[in-house]
Amino acid sequence: MRQQKYISGGAGLILGAAVLWGTVGPAQALAGTSLGPAALGGWRLLVGGAVLGALARRHLRALFPAIRQGLARPLLICAAATGIFQAVFLYSAARTGAALATVVALGVAPVATGLIARSVNGERLTRTWLVSTAAAVAGCALLLAPTGAGVDVLGLLAATVSGICYGLYTVYAKQLTTDHPYVHLPAVSALSLLLGAVPLMPWMVTDTAALTQPAALYLIAWLGLVTTALAYWLFSAGIPSTSAAAVGTLSLAEPLAASFLGLFVLHEHLTTTAALGSLLILGGLAAACLPASRTRPATTPGKPHPSPSHAA
């Protein structure tokens, strides 16, 4: 009983992080700033990583001796996946639009996460995962259908790579919690974010005119503090008790949240097809949040079941 509650709580934290990530696009639309996407992404990672690092500073210092004890490889993979995700996702958004880039990247993410988890950690892909992922990915496809967007091969390829990067980060962050239980995952996230901001420094240095605009500063504050520092803290807290494959499926709450904000905040029109897609994603997320079932051991005739009062 206690284990089931813990698993559901971890899924709730992952959902909370995904919902916060889903506010990024609507926040950009509301701010209307001229700050370029690469510079904005860099500031988001830098501010979020700095705040998360300050909160986890004691644990952050402890990472460096641990790097010599087998931590370097998964940590570098997490950092590289974070930086590459930001770069290729922004490139995809510039070529195909933010909506298409988000749906493609996060449509790829749960499948990529499940397959990478199976390959790297031998994680079992359950029937629940297959059903919930299929429903959620189908919902993403229906959300995409009403856009009528043209096909940009390079943009779609970049979005696919960003989805794979999300899967890599999820699987290796999960591996860190399994193989190195003494490691503080928010500290790992902070270091990954700060390292991921490095490739975007040229845009941050050259695209500074918009930083005099209050709207740009408010946007950076929201993206850095809420959608990065807080979201990654929730993600880091939820991932130890949630399978990597389920985390990939739960990430699809992000486009769902973005769609709802577009409908109720930006007053965008939601078509019947998009509404059906949203319902499918909701169904997939609900299935992914279900606790893992436990099979009651068989009992021999005449042997009583354990008393409920002695259950764990």
Q: What is the 3-state secondary structure (H, E, C) of the chain?
A: CHHHHHHHHHHHHHHHHHHHHCCHHHHHHHHCCCCCHHHHHHHHHHHHHHHHHHHCHHHHHHHHHHHHHHHHHHHHHHHHHHHHHHHHHHHHHHHHCHHHHHHHHHHHHHHHHHHHHHHHHCCCCCHHHHHHHHHHHHHHHHHHHHHCCCCCHHHHHHHHHHHHHHHHHHHHHHHHHHHCCCCCHHHHHHHHHHHHHHHHHHHHHHCCHHHHCHHHHHHHHHHHHHHHHHHHHHHHHHHHHCCHHHHHHHCCHHHHHHHHHHHHCCCCCCCHHHHHHHHHHHHHHHHHHCCCCCCCCCCCCCCCCCCHHHCC
**pLDDT tens, position by position, for the chain (312 residues)?**
443 443 457 888 988 998 898 888 778 778 888 888 778 888 999 999 999 999 988 887 777 776 666 677 888 888 888 878 877 877 777 777 666 677 777 777 877 888 898 888 887 777 777 777 777 677 767 766 655 545 677 877 888 898 889 889 889 888 887 777 777 888 888 988 898 888 889 989 998 888 988 999 999 999 999 999 999 999 888 888 787 777 777 777 776 676 677 667 766 665 667 667 666 666 665 665 555 444 344 444 444 444 333 333
Confidence (pLDDT) at 6: 37
Confidence (pLDDT) at 285: 58
Report the alpha-carbon distance of residue 144 to residue 102 in Å, rounded: 10
* C-alpha Rg value of the chain to the nearest Å: 20
CB count in 10 Å sphere of residue 285 = 23
**Rounded to the nearest 10 degrees, how much is the dihedral formed by the CA atoms of 29, 32, 33, 35?**
40
The closest of 173, 303, 155 to 248, measured between CA atoms, is 173
Q: What letters, b where the CB count within 10 A reaches 16 and e where it falls short, cover 150-173?
A: eebeebbebbbbbbbbbbbbbbbb
**Amino acid of residue 238:** G
Confidence (pLDDT) at 39: 87
Asked if 76 contacts 186 with a C-beta cutoff of 8 angstroms, the reply is no
What is the value of pTM for the model shown? 0.74
Distance between first and last Cα of the chain: 6
Confidence (pLDDT) at 234: 93
Confidence (pLDDT) at 63: 76
Report the alpha-carbon distance of residue 18 to residue 282 in Å, rounded: 13
Parse the chain into domains and list their residue ranges: 36-64+71-290
